[in-house]
Structure 1
Amino acid sequence: MGCFQFYIGEKKDEPKTTKSNVISSSCSAFTDREVRQSGSELNSQNASDASTESRGRNQFPSLSERPNNLKVFTFAELKAATKNFSRSTKLGEGGFGCVYKGVIKSSDDPLKRVDVAVKQLGRRGMQGHKEWVTEVNVLGVVEHPNLVKLIGYCAEDDERGIQRLLIYEFMPNSSVDDHLSVKSEAPLSWAMRLKIAQDAARGLAYLHEEMEFQIIFRDFKASNILLDEEWNAKLSDFGLARLGPSEGLTHVSTAVVGTMGYAAPEYIQTGRLTSKSDVWSYGVFLYELITGRRPLDRNRPRSEQKLLEWVKPYLSDAKKFQQILDPRLERKQILKSAHKLSLVANRCLSRHGKTRPKMSEVLQMLNRVVEESAGIGSPHPPLKNVEQKETSQEAGKSSKRRIMDTRVIDGSWLVRMWSSKHVRTC
């Protein structure tokens, strides 16, 4: 599932705000200056609206000024932790770069070893660096059981050039996308899928509503939901995250980035980003859990390639609805529960962003579905883990983000979904 980036109309220069650097003074002066400049991307709030006053607004406090417990690693330490970035430790490769499994000393007990995931920035220029800075600034100050923990980072120069790395807690059970894949030998049970839906909703609700500032994930998808050793789901990869609009504003105007099949229609059309864009993506994800299919799958027959278009004719009839359920599940047993989950998904996929529920409301609806579904399906995790070489803390991103023109982006179908009106896109 490829990521995309394109601009609606003429690209606007986003205002720059000076940020205190989250990187420690042990890094080079060049690195310190670079991070301050790039870090302003997260705080830029080019959020104008016809009904709101965009000038003179208050900016969110700089995230990098907040205290954090991130550890600063040297490149030499990470080389040793990953056996010199050996192929044998490589977990995967995505748009950001390569991800390796490493072993470091525990900060609590020096005699104890801890598995980590080390993500190394590839040679992608400033965009990749901005994503690195965003991850440090966001995950350095937020903490929640359903967000992957960032342990530390590395920012230094050596004979190979500029080194930018991120060190996360290791997530041994891969991504949800891996387990939903038709290639998975251990598909997730219905009870596990409901739990994952709850965990992911908790993570998004925390980002949107439970802090004094709001963070919009902007790239919510199954491959960015990782599973720890206890099979708890955690959101990962915050490189595209943005601060929500300032008080009094309705949205953030920004370049449209994300993953095809998940992006909200109003965001694709206008570049106006709100937390309801994440809610749409979450609704798409619920249909992934229900059907076991990806939002966009070019390997299927033409009429079945776009998940939301494919499921729509089956939603109004209970007998038909059963046909879209993941065939690896006990369809008759989960039918009633899956239908209730689809009703939650439909609320998230409301044509107009303002009518979509907040994630806290989505979580309440989900909790009721889970309560009413108690005893349906095995709550136990799959017996066999997906092979680690197919996994990635990049969460399965095999295809790199690329710039695409609005005329060729396959997004018009999203605009038509859940609406009787056909809206024409450029």
Structure 2
Amino acid sequence: MAASTSTQTSNRTQVGIVGAGPAGLFLAHLLRRQGIDCVVLESRSRAEIEDTIRAGVLEQWVVDLMNQMGLGDRMMREGHFHSGITLRFNGESHHIDMAGLTGGKRVTVYAQHEVIRDLVAALLEDGGEILFGVSDVQLHGVESDRPSIAFRRSPDGPLEALRCDWIAGCDGFHGPSRQAIPKAVRNEFQVVYPFGWLGILTEAPPSHPELIYANHERGFALLSTRSPEVQRLYIQCDPKDDIANWSDDRIWSELHARLEDRDGWTLTEGRIFQKGIIAMRSFVCEPMRHGRLFLAGDAAHIVPPTGAKGLNLAVADVLVLSRALDAFYKSGRTDGLEAYSAVCLRRIWKAERFSWYMTTMLHRNPAETPFEQRVHLADLDYVVSSRAAMTALAENYVGLPMD
């Protein structure tokens, strides 16, 4: 859409944040704690971002950060703390003691939409500004020292301009921020996987105390949890399949087949109240900065959910960015801002590698040869029989150090 040449209302802030997902909300909290003004613009309503159900696994350092910021009370009451995971293949189960291998670190299963609810409530209570339901968002002047964000508060409202020193594009893969970087300077790397996940939420008690990742000849399966009453499970499927082809009976049949083991473990069924199919990709955009615009979270990178890295990478991005902005406003230093992309990408590519590794090792790719499938099984066998390999997996899973 062409940009308007005039606006009816003019606003000013230090950092304009596009997107109220995990990246944008965490950044707003971090900046406000440093005394930096910011405004968050979000195209969806508050109800939409809070009620869109998405799973979430938080690395140890993210849990620690939320607690340090005073945002973790409900997470500590309602989250599920896992000290390990189970890898299941060839009908056998193998426990990976992540806490024992990493000096006590663990992960917390706490859904992303619950994190968003906590961050939104705390930000608004603290006097922060989130503009929900905005439209026609356009970024201007990102290569100048006076960038701005044009938007409408309602579809029929006047076009306004939010003038700022810096813009943080936290608006996801389909948002306008990445598109504001000229194609000539944007390098995009992508892998689209030939499989997807069919995910369900079911009313049932936990079938297992921790996550189970299963490699089966019929395809991958994952058992997770949401609460003592609600469980989340996934099975590998064709990403182009129609969810209407999957009856509840068919889903349960596949889950039983793929998650079974030789020790007689059984899966507890319940009423399925949500189901859907998601495609999977790996994606990275370089650089993550152009002029006064910084990309963070899904606007800059996507990982398949197998490695449980998406939300954690978003928080890592904005933690780096908030520190760089703090140094700029306190002492005029720009080295952190100039290094932002390189610093973030070093961590991102490690997470991309781990997510790709977990995904290819655990799934059955229909295009693979029997040789390649046997290599993946050998990889799993090596992981569960080598302490060094188990440690490497555990270190990546619970989260690499931020510094």
Q: Is TM > 0.5 for Structure 1 vs Structure 2?
A: no
Q: Sort the TM-score into its range (normalised by shorter chain).
A: under 0.3
Greater RCO, CA 8 A, separation 6+: 1
TM-score scaled by length of structure 1: 0.24
TM-score scaled by length of structure 2: 0.25
